[in-house]
Amino acid sequence: MVRSLEQMTMRKVYLRILPFAALTYFFCYLDRINVGFAALTMNKDIGLDAAIYGMAAGAFFWGYVLFEVPSNIILEKVGARIWITRIMITWGLISAATAFATGPYSFMAIRFLLGLAEAGLFPGFVLYFTYWFPDSYRARINSGFTLA
């Protein structure tokens, strides 16, 4: 009886947390790769050649790598709910600011800031799952999350 109660509880928690986390990460990934589709027309509009575009698109990962660990240290101190919310809000605002890029330097700066904003989302959710799921359930939640 205790085991079935545990399973029912974990299922409810799984169904409440995973869809939101997976949808959020899906949009994060979509936002990360959409710059490649935008390049088809954007490069000419803001004066980017292939080398500058590659550097600017890669600036996202510079910010991402620099801030991924500090972001999760802050997440541990502030709390997952507040910090993941901050990540999503700043990521949305900076993503919207991409429309205001007027040249190579502004585009590169926005992509770098977007990397800073998104940096802790994936490891933040993985850490958040450790708060809700015991070890025996964590492989399932992590695999469901990475399917996004």
Report pLDDT digits (tens) over 40-75: 888 888 888 888 888 988 999 999 999 999 998 999
Please give the DSSP secondary-structure letter assigned to residue 100: G
Burial tier of 45 (Cβ tally within 10 Å: 0-12, 13-18, 19+):
exposed
pLDDT given at position 139: 87
CB 62 within 8 A of CB 119: no
pLDDT band at 6 (very low <50, low <70, confident <90, very high): confident
Find the Cα–Cα–Cα–Cα dihedral 31, 37, 38, 39, rounded to 10°.
Answer: 120
Query: Amino acid letter at 38?
Result: A
Residue 117 neighbours by CB under 8 Å, 6+ apart: 63, 87, 90, 91, 93, 94
Please give the DSSP secondary-structure letter assigned to residue 47: T
Report pLDDT digits (tens) over 81-119: 899 999 999 999 999 998 898 888 999 999 999 999 999
**Cα Rg of the chain (Å, integer):** 18
Phi, psi of 79, deg, nearest 5: 115, 145
Tokens of 66: 């620099």
Find the Cα–Cα–Cα–Cα dihedral 144, 22, 10, 77, rounded to 10°.
Answer: 120
pLDDT band at 147 (very low <50, low <70, confident <90, very high): confident
| CA distances to 50, 107, 116, 138, 144 from 20, in Å | 36, 30, 22, 16, 11
